[in-house]
Every structure is written in structure tokens, then in C-alpha cells.
Copies of this chain bind each other. A is one copy, B any other.
Amino acid sequence: MTATPEQQVAALQARYLPDVQAWLRDALADPAPGSAPGPAPGINHLLRYHMGWEDAGGAPTPSEGGKALRPVLCLTACELAGGDWRRALPAAAALELVHNFSLVHDDIQDGDVLRRGRETLWSVWGIPAALSGGNAMRVTADRTLAKLEGSGVGAAAVMWASAELNQRYLEMIEGQYLDMAFEQRPQVTVADYLDMIGRKTGALFESAMFLGALVANADPDQARAFGACGRRMGIAFQVRDDYLGVWGDTAETLKPLTDIQRKKKSLPLVYLLEAAADEDRAWLARAYADDEVSGPNVRRILRLLDRLDARRYVTQTAEACASEARALAEALGLGESRARSLEAIAAYCVSRDR
């Protein structure tokens, strides 16, 4: 009996995540008393709250732990490129911290009050504190990545890793900026959208596989090939996210509002704006011009999406991206049995329900 993609990813998570979690907890621990200069009292607590490890009062909470897909991809890439995955742990933890930095700031930017069923950092402590918290998370990521050197990675490779993460991080910021700009822009094409999510989500996934390969001493071309595979995985992951944002089961996704209510120009909407008849497009523009999309309008948009078979279109787009990721994984020349974990991750990216 073959394991499902979900089971295979769960096995990778079970293999890697206890160590990743230990690195993350260490990165966000309060400094020992007397060690100077330490973080300001309180700021690390905000970050531990965001990670789901503490409640707003500072008491430990039972944490499920997230998907941590970026660390999983990084450590998988490291092993597949012939490296010792434990040496890549600082990079894996740094990636998860950069990802969480982006969530803290995105929640401010999007005005989202809930994430994973809990109040967002800014909605508990206010925008100014959350802004600082996000910045502290990001610099903690950089400091964690720098620990690659203690992990036996040479200085030149650490600098290369740092330059790579910075470049992708800049793309991620730009992607988020474009995502917001799209909400104001009347016309956004599917090509614009795919470029945007390549930056917003693809770039950090690219970093994940690139850094894993780099730690395994892959040559530059091979590391870039790993990165290209990761980028497609990220794009596939985001398209599935967009699917779940409209048609997902909110009990699974823990999202209180659908992306239609949030007026996000995610793929279903971008497709709709391209494919709809002129009068429907004009009506959509008016419906989105209101502060909130009313209940009847949400239902009408869902009917329009159904009529244009948008679910199938979005699913097929995700599958096409996952196929590209699989083809890039095969081209890495790892042999059939070793490439299987990447295939499973690609399949998981587009089949997951949360």
C-alpha cells in the first residue's frame, strides 16, 4: 500500500520538526539574566504568542505546531543533495522565522484579526507593538541564519546564503506590496497574478531548497536548480491557498472570512475578472467598491464562479504548477526513489485541506 502525499509529508515533519522546533524555541527564548544586551522585556513574549506557544498572558499553551513546510523543504533538499540535514537546521529555522515575520506584518496590512483561530498579534497589542515585533522576528531570523557558521558551513557559503535569503526576502516584500496594490487596480491579469505570487510565496520556497542544497555543498548550478523547483512548489502551494480561501472548509482553514469577503484579488477573482462577461465585470467592480462585500453579493460572486467553472480552473492551475515542480525535481537527477519525497511534497501542496 502506497502512502498518501499527506502521510509522506507527515513522516518528513516527524523526522525534522522536533529539531527545528528546538532551534525556534531557542531563538525566541528570553536571554539568561545578566547577559547583555538582551531583548527588551516583553518583546520575545509577543513573538512566542504569535508562534502559538504562549497565551496573551504568557502562560504556555499546548501547540500543535504549524506545517513548517519551508523548513521541511530545506532539510529535504539538503539530504537529497547529499548533505547532513542537521547542519542545515539554522537555515531551516531562519526560513520559518522569516515566514512568521511576514505573517505578523501581513496581518497588520490586511487588517486580519484572527489567524489559526487566535487573535493576531496587532489585535492583542496594537499596530505599533506588532510592527516592532515583526521587525524583531526578522532580525532573529538573520541572527539564526548566521549560526550556519557554527554548523561547519564556510564563511563564503554563509555569506552566499545570507545574500540569497535577502534577495528572496526583498521579493517577498515586493510580492506583498503588489498583492495590496492589486486590490486597488481595476485590471489584474493571470500573468500579473502569477508573477506576484512567485514573489510573495515562491521566493521563500525557492530559498528553502536553495539553502538546503547550498549547505550540502551543491555547486551553484545545482543549488539554483533546487531553488527553481522550490519556487514552483511555492506557487503551487499559493494557488491551493487561494482555492481554500474561497472554497475551503473554514473548520479546517480556521479562517473567519473567505477571500471574497476580504476583497482579495486571489486567483479565483482574477480569473473571474478575465473570463466574465462585460456586464458581470462591471457589476463586480461596483460590488468590490463597497467597504464590505454584502452577503447577497458574496453568494452572487460564488454563483458566477460556478458558472465559469472557476474551481476546476484554479485546481488545474495548481496541478500544472505542481507538475512543473515535479518535472524540475526529476531534472535534478536524484534517481527515482530519492526524488519521491519531493514529488510527495508537490502533491501535498495542491491537495491539502488546510
Beyond A37-B199, A136-B174, whether A143 also contacts B131 by CB under 8 A is no
Q: Any chain B CB within 8 A of the CB of A266?
A: no
Known: A135-B173, A136-B174, A174-B40. A143 touches B166 (CB 8 A): yes
Whole-angstrom CA separation of A135 from B138 in the bound complex: 10
Q: Is A146 touching B163 in the complex (CB atoms < 8 A)?
A: yes
Residues of B within 8 A of A159 (CB): 146, 149, 155, 158-159
CA distance A25 to B95 in the complex (A): 30
Number of identical monomers bound together in the oligomeric complex: 2
A304 at the interface (CB under 8 A from B): no
Complex interface: chain B residues within 8 A of A133 (CB)? 177
For window 166-204 of chain A, which residues contact chain B by CB distance below 8 Å? 166-167, 169-171, 173-178, 180-181, 199, 203
A142 within 8 A of B: yes
Judge whether A264 is part of the interface by a CB distance below 8 angstroms.
no
Flag if B178 contacts A135 (CB, 8 Å).
no
Residues of B close to A199: CB separation below 8 A: 37, 40
Q: How far is the CB of A171 from chain B (nearest CB, A)?
A: 6
Roughly how many angstroms separate A10 CA and B139 CA in the complex, as a whole number?
A: 34
Check: A105 CB closer than 8 A to any chain B CB. Answer: yes
CA distance A132 to B143 in the complex (A): 21
Per the bound structure, the CA–CA distance linking A109 and B122 in Å amounts to 12
On chain B, the residues within 8 Å of A139 by CB distance are 166, 169-170, 173
User: Among B39, B108, B109, B171, which residue has its beta carbon within 8 angstroms of that of A170?
Assistant: B39
Q: How far is the CA of A39 from the CA of B128 in the complex (A)?
A: 26
Quick one: which of B136, B149, B180 contacts A132, CB cutoff 8 A?
B180
Q: Is the interface of A mostly helix, strand, loop or mixed?
A: helix
- State in angstroms the CA–CA spacing of A203 and B39 once bound together: 13
CB distance from A81 to the nearest CB of B (A): 22
Question: Would you call A57 an interface residue if the criterion is a C-beta within 8 Å of the partner chain's C-beta atoms?
Answer: no
Question: Which residues of the other chain, B, contact A129 by a CB distance below 8 angstroms?
Answer: 177, 180
> When chains A and B are docked, how far (Å) is the Cα of A180 from the Cα of B135?
15
Is the Cβ of B143 less than 8 Å from the Cβ of A170?
yes
User: 27 pairs across A/B with beta carbons < 8 Å?
Assistant: A37-B171, A37-B199, A39-B170, A40-B199, A42-B177, A105-B132, A108-B127, A108-B128, A109-B127, A129-B177, A129-B180, A132-B173, A132-B176, A132-B180, A135-B138, A136-B170, A136-B174, A138-B138, A139-B166, A139-B170, A140-B170, A142-B142, A143-B167, A146-B163, A146-B166, A155-B156, A159-B159
